[in-house]
Structures are given as C-alpha cells and as structure tokens.
Amino acid sequence: MSAAASATHQAEQANAAALRAFTALDPREVALLLDVDGTLIDIGPTPFAVDVSDTLKRSLERLFELTGGALALVSGRPIHDLDRLFAPLVLPAVGGHGAEMRLAEGTAASHVADLPAALRARLIGAVDPDSGVAYEDKGYSVALHYRRAPDHEARLRAHVSESLAAFPAEDTEVLPGKMMIEVKRPGIDKGAGIRRLMGHEPFARRIPVFIGDDVTDEAAFAAIPALGGRSFSVNRAFEGLSGIFSAPEQVRRALSEWAAKH
C-alpha cells in the first residue's frame, strides 16, 4: 500500500470511529458546542466567502430540538455574523473567542469592552485592498486574515507588534489562528466562554461535547475535561479526544446521522 493510500485508509478508519463515538451520545444528556470555521463549514478564501448549506441548518435545527436547546455555536466570529450565516436559525452562541455570549433567541448578547478606535484603525491600516489581506473589526478585537496572501504573514506580524508598541497602556494579547492574526483583550478565550455558558440553563448539568479544529480552540479542549465532557477535533490531535474527523464534511455527516438516528 502506498503512503497516500495508507493515509487515506487511516483517515477513513478515524472518521468511522469518530462517527460511532459521536452518534452513540444521548442528545438528552449532552450540551453540543460547535466551532464554525474549519469545523462545521469549510475554510473559505476570505471569512466572508463561505457556504452554510441548508442541509447543515436542518441538522442543527433538529439537534437543537433533541438537546432541549442545549446547542451552541462557539466561534471567533461575532454573534451577529453567525446569525447572518445561519439564518433563519438564531442559536445560542459564544462569539469572538469568548468575548460575547448569548443564551437564547431574543436575549441580548453580552460582550467585553471594545479596543480603542485608534488602535483598531492602526491595525487595519496594514490592509491593502490589492494585497489579498482581509480584516474583521469586531470592536473588541481586530483580525487580519492572509489566506489569499500567505507571503504577507511576516509583514502583518511585524505590523501588529509595532501597533501594540504604540499603545503600551492598552491591555491586549495576540491570538494566532489559521492564516490569521487577531488582537484582542486578554483573558478572553473559548474555554472561559464555555465555562460561563455551562453555568446557565439549558446547558447546566449536561455533558459538554465540543468539536473544534484550530489553535484558537485549544482553550476549549483544555476546559472540557474539568467539566466532565468529551471533545472531537477536525484533522488535529489533542490529548484526551474522543475522536478525530478528517474534514468538516465528516462533521456535517455525523451531525446529519445523529439527527436522523433520533
């Protein structure tokens, strides 16, 4: 067997094992916590060029019902962007890597204080429309995306360092991600967001089940064991995982089969 064929076989076996472990869960007992980009949906050329299929939305809607509302999106995106992507669904959410949280439709999203406008403008100043670099200004953070311009990584990292040095009194930290650099307030991460979420109904006293894929999800993976939960990843090995899916397509398949099973 060639190396490529062996890798494909191993991925298929891992997907099958993750699918069995995931669909064996009882939706009446768990809280389902789902990263979005790279987990539920494929990474697009920009944060705004992605596809959320109607099939995925139907699966999420059904699983929201089966879990008694204990299903939340846990994303680096702001909650208003999640609502736009998953419309007409309005799901509980932890947005901005934990900077925002909304428990249910119709409730206000709480969030941390914004970064100064001058700092955000300086960070965004690195974006040249012709370079392929994109940005997200979330208020409480600024993300610089270089998916279409990987050769700009070193320049952007230097720009971020220089920008933060110009605002020494501001309490910030840099969060690296997939072809992305984000400047945000410190002490904000998906793990802390999940711990807050799990203190509220209908999530409280359930078993948290998290699926994620990126370094920005490491805090969530670290938080889950202390909450008595289980984690699955997409194409990344982390300690204590219950399974590894090879791609978002396999996660969508697992959600669809789990929804159909019940």
Residues 210, 184: Cα–Cα separation, whole Å:
23
Residue 170 CB burial class (10 angstroms; 0-12, 13-18, ≥19) = middle
Candidates 134, 125, 118, 107; CA nearest to 47 is 134
Grouping H, G, I as helix, E, B as strand and the rest as coil, residue 185 is coil
Asked about 35 being catalytic, the answer comes back as yes
Which residues share a beta bridge with 141? 184
**Alpha-carbon span 104 to 114, nearest angstrom:** 23
Among 35, 81, 189, 217, which one carries the catalytic annotation? 35
d(CA 61, CA 66): 9
With beta carbons less than 8 A apart as the criterion, state whether 94 and 220 touch: no
CA-CA-CA-CA torsion for 161, 163, 169, 175, nearest 10 degrees? -50
Residue 232 near residue 40 (C-beta atoms within 8 A): no
246: tokens are 């090879």
Beta-carbon contacts of 214 under 8 Å, excluding residues fewer than 6 positions away, are 35, 37, 38, 177, 178, 236
Residues with catalytic function: 35
